[in-house]
Amino acid sequence: MDIKILGSGCRKCITLEGHARKGAADLGLAPSIETIHDPVAIAGYGVMRTPALVIDDRVVVAGRVPAAEEVRDLLRAAAAP
């Protein structure tokens, strides 16, 4: 699993990254987690508002910080066969 956090590195972005790391740990996943701050790269995902969560190259949330439980549910769904 590949997770990307798109954003400027602001507090909301850091919170989203923390939710993703905790959700992955809770589920026993060991994903690759990368933060992307480059505006051109972010726009390449079609994201206009950050922070955004990308799982396996699919934008699943943009423009808000989802609750930790929502992030865990998104990760669980992405990990399902």
Residue 23 is encoded by which pair of tokens?
A: 């959700």
Look at residue 21 in the predicted model and tell me its pLDDT. Answer: 97
* CB of 75 closer than 8 Å to CB of 55: yes
Look at residue 81 in the predicted model and tell me its pLDDT. Answer: 81
- CATH class belonging to 2-79: alpha beta
pLDDT 10s digit of each residue in the chain, 81 long?
999 999 999 999 999 999 999 999 999 999 999 999 999 999 999 999 999 999 999 999 999 999 999 999 999 999 998
| Number of helical H runs and strand E runs in the chain | 3, 4
Give the other-Cβ count within 10 Å of 73's Cβ.
14
Look at residue 10 in the predicted model and tell me its pLDDT. Answer: 95
Look at residue 62 in the predicted model and tell me its pLDDT. Answer: 98
Look at residue 12 in the predicted model and tell me its pLDDT. Answer: 97
